[in-house]
Amino acid sequence: MNRPAFAAAAPAVSNRLLLMSGAVMAAAALFAAPAARAQSQPDGGAPMTMHAMVAPPALNLSAYGEVKTAPDMATISFGVVTEATTAAEAMRLNATRMTQVMAALRRAGIAERDVQTSGLNLSAQYDYVQNEPPRLRGYQANNRVTVIINDLDAVGTTADAVVAAGVNQIDGISFGLKDPTMAENQARQLAVRNLQAKASLYAQALGVGLGGIRSLSEGGGYSPQPVPMYAVRAQSMDSGSSTPVAAGELTIRIDITGVYDLMR
């Protein structure tokens, strides 16, 4: 029997047990009394006690404000589409018509800065017959323009003038505001009043006091809506009278979300 070897191993096991016991005791001292946990200060003063922070109750609400106002401008998008057997001829015909359209816009009192080319496209046109390869028919040129009209009374007559000059596609019209700031600010004020009233109502129903607002975020705002003008194109071609256009009203909406503190 080799008893000396067995006796020599015993102190190592005992040391490991002591180290484990020390770690367990240290952990127990750390978590036994969280409320009494303290941190000594460098100058030797009284220990500083650390307390868990509890967020106050809050109220998260949304509201909106809407303002209706008459537009003071319009935007029309239209195009000149031409076809020919060759690409060069299609582009030449298109350029001739578009030159006439630009001249008509100037005669209608539209400033050059209010006219913008929004698209220029040239594409091959094919005829398709079943069980046969596509047959090239010719080429199509498409030149599209967006025009801002600052006088709403001139919208119908301007549409008629460009159609008479060569426009054969009108995509749509949108009414808008030159400066939406005033209408947006009115909608903001209404939204805040609605949010404040809703917060007061909730606080009263809950039987608690309403504190100050913690945060406020905004969404929405001015966005002109396009209106199709296919009827305008048909009337302009088939009737000698000016195309009637109704501007209606715009709706400006501001959405807000606010977080209020509640007092117990």
Q: What are the tens digits of pLDDT across the range 141-185? A: 999 999 999 999 999 999 999 999 999 999 989 999 999 999 999
Residue 186 has pLDDT above 50, yes or no: yes
Kindly tell me if the per-residue pLDDT of 99 is higher than 90: yes
**Residue 10 confidence (pLDDT):** 45
| pLDDT bracket for residue 244 (50, 70, 90) | confident
Tens of pLDDT along 13-45?
A: 444 433 444 444 444 444 444 444 455 555 655
For position 17, what pLDDT does the model report? Answer: 37
**pTM recorded for the entire structure:** 0.66
Residue 47 is predicted with a pLDDT of 64
pLDDT for residue 223:
76
pLDDT of residue 56: 80
Whether residue 226 has pLDDT greater than 70: no
CB-CB contact of 257 with 192 (8 Å): no
Report the candidate in 143, 148, 142 with the shortest Cα–Cα distance to residue 174.
Answer: 148
What does the mean pLDDT of the chain come to? Answer: 82
Answer positive or negative: Cα dihedral of 25, 30, 31, 34: positive
Helix residue spans in the chain (DSSP H): 3-31, 87-107, 155-165, 181-206, 230-238
Instruction: State the pLDDT confidence band at 240, using cuts at 50, 70 and 90.
Output: low
Provide the 3-class DSSP secondary structure of residue 135: strand
Amino acid at 195: L
